Amino acid sequence: MKIVIVGPGAMGCLFAAFLSRQRSREHEVWLLDKDASRAAKLGRQGIDVEGIAGSWHADVRSTADPRDIPAADLVVVCVKSYDTKNAIACIKPLITEDTAVLTLQNGIGNIEIIGEAIGPDQVIGGVTSLGATWLEVGRIRFAGKGETIIGRIDGKTSVQMRMIRELFNKAGLETRISQDIKGFLWSKLVVNTGINALTAVTRLPNGSLLEYEGSRRILRESVTEAVKVAKRKRIKLLYDDPLAKVESVCEATATNVSSMLQDVLRRKRTEIDFINGVIVRFGQELGISVPANAMLVSLVKVIESSYEKAVGAHQ
């Protein structure tokens, strides 16, 4: 099986490292980057992983040119959601009618974007609870163990999905198949809605959001709004008390730096449009008031557009 991981961020590198450790004659793992110099460095130096599983190293095949890679059996998309469309256009030559494309991205909308480009039957949605922090090129921190859930929007289970489950589990990536991947995607969205943007604005780790009345109040308001939207859309969430779930995630990942805060600290574009922005858009369509999410979207966009003007930006 030829496996291509698209995107060398924290999660892409984590999956590439785990799968590359299982390298054999049967499996060939590639990491595809849009930056040629970074791809070359990853190919030379590999990936160093530190954190909850100790410190270890994985050699990886890496390139910025899809022509270097034979046709893929499995493509795992780990790019930021705003790069999905361009990434799929880039890798289209690797995709045959037998290729499975698995998205392990944040937010809502990626399955639809990929499906429009290659056809919906080849797209598999995914949600992972694994935690990873990008430290520098080729170096990541494995910050939290968790399950990876995969499934098709239509609820069907394919042979390809079973093969992916077996492959990931053998590599040490606990994985199972769900017939309701939409419920998992929206359940994760609700959690991210309460945590990610708020950490980006406050620059606090996840657990600290619960320590201050102001941040705790905004968290509750944004989650409540997201749940209202999900209910109106008849999405079945995985937990009876979404607010309690979000707060428990904060506690369980107390020291974790969210992906959106990582983006802000690195002065990168965030995925706000695919997380809180989704709640704002659906809220407007459904006539549901979502002021907390609208405020968080506005604040994060201000932060994004003012990196160079922020106090201390040039220190």
Catalytic machinery residues: 188
Alpha-helical runs (H) found in 104-258: 110-118, 159-170, 181-202, 213-232, 242-252
End-to-end CA distance of the chain: 48
Residue 150 host element (H or E) = strand 148-151
d(CA 20, CA 171): 9
Contact 99, 71 (CB under 8 A): yes
* Cα 278 from Cα 298, distance rounded (Å): 13
Asked whether the beta carbons of 15 and 104 are under 8 A apart, the reply is yes
Compute the distance between CA of residue 71 and CA of residue 132 in angstroms, rounded to an integer.
28
Cβ-contact 71, 98 below 8 angstroms? no
Alpha-carbon distance of 154 to 180, in angstroms, equals 8
Reported residue count of the chain is 315
Measured over all CA atoms, what is the biggest interatomic distance in the chain, rounded to whole angstroms?
55
